[in-house]
Amino acid sequence: MCTLTRRIGSPVAATTIDVGHGGMSVTTTRPLAVDEELGFELPPRPFPRVSGRARVVREHGHDVYGLRFEALPEHMFADLDRLSAAATRG
């Protein structure tokens, strides 16, 4: 799960499909706009919380979006690596 926040409006619940250094793919029940900048927060499941800003770079289909991380703090990359590895292992 992932929480996306807009500058105005209520948070958008999203389900992460994959996460990597450069960004993530998510599915949502509410539409996002290409080039929209959002805040994001990945919940801490055995790792520290990862949060920051992301930009919608593409729509993969109905309610599936590709997001690129924007200026993610350097110290969060190790946590992203652990999240990606844990997801790969299932």
- pLDDT recorded at residue 85: 67
One-letter identity of residue 10: S
Instruction: For the chain, give the mean pLDDT.
Output: 86
Between 19-23, 46-50, 52-56, the lowest mean confidence (pLDDT) is in 46-50
Q: State the Cα–Cα distance between residues 75 and 54, nearest whole angstrom.
A: 16
One-letter identity of residue 60: H
- Indicate the pTM of the whole model: 0.83
